[in-house]
Amino acid sequence: MTVIDANRMQEIETRYPEYFHRSFRQRFGGLMILIATLLYSLYAVWFFDLPKLFAEAHWERVGIYLSQWVSYDVQPEFRIEGDGSIDIRYPRFSPLGDNPHPDWLVNNPDGSITVSISGTSRSVTVSKSETIVTAHGVSVPVDVLSGAPKVVGPVPGWMTVYDDNVLADLGFAGNVSISVDRVKIRKRFIGWANFIFDTHSSFFDKPVGEVVSLIVSGPRIKPDQSNLSLAFDDIWNNSEWQHGDVWTKLFQTIVMAFLGTLLGSLTAFPLAFLAARNITPNRLLNQILKRLFDFLRSVDMLIWALFLTRAFGPGPLAGSGAIFLTETGTLGKLYSEGLENIDNKPREGIKSTGAQTVLVHRYGIMPQIVPVFVSQTLYQWESNVRGATIIGAVGAGGIGLKLWEAMRTNANWENVAYMVILILIVVFIFDTASNTLRHRLMGTKAH
């Protein structure tokens, strides 16, 4: 066992004061950060009133909206006429077309009509005197002859009685609204209705095999147009899904991001040389350009888009201009900082040979900065593909505007899902391509 005397101890303390004479910040810094974080969290909970916010939130709407993303509904209406007959009507733009005959609707011999909502476990039978709703293992008759709809027997929990209406909630499968003279049914299906051909297409409601046969070797449906061309036109001009318009707007978004990023990088590149202190030893010019970069990037892309849509009107030009202004500021700052951090030895060596300034920049600076600049530009381009979607919603064109229009109707959530999936695919493709190019330029392996 080694014994350390007082002199030796004093020598060690003198040599390593950071271990024996720690400051207050070093001793309690971690604890203070933890306490500050907890206090800030409590303040945020109070400031945003999170308990009340969570208590009053309409969480049930989340399930409703998500179900509408992946499904569609058919809404037949059964009107009970004065002579006891039942007239079946569908909405004007029903996904079943103008002359529907669904197999889940059966006309019974006694004049009643049975609608299968979900197999045999959930169904509705409509007659002139009553409507019988079968669900959750029970059948509940609703009398419609007494002046107001009246549930016969106990009212189950999934059924709500109003003064002139009875509403039966059948969950995801749909619902039934019963009044004295009419019964409205909402039947829900998984999938996207008429995604390929709409109800006005010559190929609508035909089996896949028949469609393929018509396209490959069938007689022409229109004498002046081949079936293949007709099928493509029907898909591209689908009135319900608007594939042609959606894909055109998606391409506009990609072009907006590419053009705005390209022009921003081309503008920022020469300005960065003037803004870098070690390249251009002019303090006034350096500061003016750096403050210009700060101004351009501090104004959000969305704000620039609002300004430019007022100046040039709605469209991709305003979107490209917004990205251009933002990227000039962002890339100008990144480029100038990259130039200020280069190794000056290659530059000084080439300068000592008496080479011109252009050659000094070409051989002393460019080999160091090109991989970094291209990597930063690719990353911004990838980010701007997402940003172009957002600014499109304020009138800058592209798929963002179309997405916002679909969301405003609050009824076309399947179209919203379609466009969101397309955006995600495009972002994923550009992210992968950009990541691969960056790693190749930097000489590293992609993960």
Confidence of residue 21 (pLDDT cuts 50, 70, 90): low
pLDDT at 245: 92
SS3 per-residue string spanning the chain: CCCCCHHHHHHHHHHCHHHHCCCHHHHHHHHHHHHHHHHHHHHHHHHCCHHHHHHHCCCHHHHHHHHHHCEEEECCEEEECCCCCEEEECCCCCCCCCCCCCCCEEECCCCCEEEEEECCCEEEEECCCEEEEEECCEEEEEECCCCCCEECCCCCCCEEECCCCEEEECHHHEEEEECCCEEEEEEEEECCCCCCCCCCCCCCCCCHHHHHHHHHHCCCCECCECHHHHHHHHHHCCCCCCHHHHHHHHHHHHHHHHHHHHHHHHHHHHHHHHHCCCCCCCHHHHHHHHHHHHHHHHCCHHHHHHHHHHHHCCCHHHHHHHHHHHHHHHHHHHHHHHHHCCCHHHHHHHHHCCCCHHHHHHHHHHHHHHHHHHHHHHHHHHHHHHHHHHHHHHHHCCHHHHHHHHHHCCCCHHHHHHHHHHHHHHHHHHHHHHHHHHHHHHCCCCC
pLDDT band at 395 (very low <50, low <70, confident <90, very high): confident
13 confidence band (pLDDT: 50, 70, 90) = low
The pLDDT of residue 447 is 54
Read off the pLDDT of residues 365-380 as tens digits, 9 standing for 90 and up. 777 788 888 888 888 8
Q: Which of 90-94, 207-211, 411-415, 440-444 has the lowest mean pLDDT?
A: 440-444
- Which range is least confidently modeled, 8-17, 60-69, 362-371, 417-426? 8-17
Which two tokens mark 216?
């490959």
Phi, psi for residue 137 in degrees, rounded to 5? 85, 5
d(CA 267, CA 332): 8
Which residue, chain included where needed, has tokens 């409205």?
184
pLDDT tens-digit profile of 53-110?
Answer: 888 887 777 777 788 888 888 999 999 887 778 899 998 888 888 888 888 999 999 8
Q: What is the mean pLDDT of residues 8-29?
A: 68
Place of tokens 């709409």: 198
pLDDT given for residue 229 in this prediction? 92
Please compute the mean of the pLDDT values over residues 25-33 and round it to a whole number: 79
Res 1 pLDDT > 70 = no
- What is the per-residue pLDDT for 294? 92
pLDDT tens digits, residue range 212-269? 999 888 888 888 889 999 999 999 999 889 999 999 999 999 999 999 999 999 999 9
Residue 281's pLDDT is what?
84
Do residues 238 and 231 make contact, with C-beta atoms less than 8 angstroms apart? no
Long-range contacts (CB closer than 8 Å, 24 or more residues apart) made by 85-90:
85/111, 85/128, 86/111, 86/112, 86/113, 86/126, 86/127, 86/128, 88/113
Q: How confident is the model at residue 443 (pLDDT cuts 50, 70, 90)?
A: low
pTM (predicted TM-score): 0.79
Q: pLDDT tens-digit profile of 172-195?
A: 888 999 998 899 999 999 989 899
Higher pLDDT, 18 or 110: 110
Yes or no: say if 241 and 194 are a contact pair by the CB < 8 Å rule: yes
Give the pLDDT confidence score for residue 55 in this predicted structure: 85
Mean pLDDT of the chain: 86
- Whole-angstrom distance, CA of residue 321 vs CA of residue 256: 8
Of 103-107, 387-391, 417-421, the poorest mean pLDDT is in: 387-391
| Nearest partner of 102 among 175, 171, 172, 185, judged by Cα | 185
Kindly state the average pLDDT of the residues 292-301.
91
Nearest to 232 by CA among 196, 193, 204: 196
> What whole-number distance in Å separates Cα of residue 389 and Cα of residue 405?
13
Residue 321 pLDDT exceeds 80: yes
Chain segment 128-146, per-residue pLDDT in tens? 889 999 998 899 999 988 7
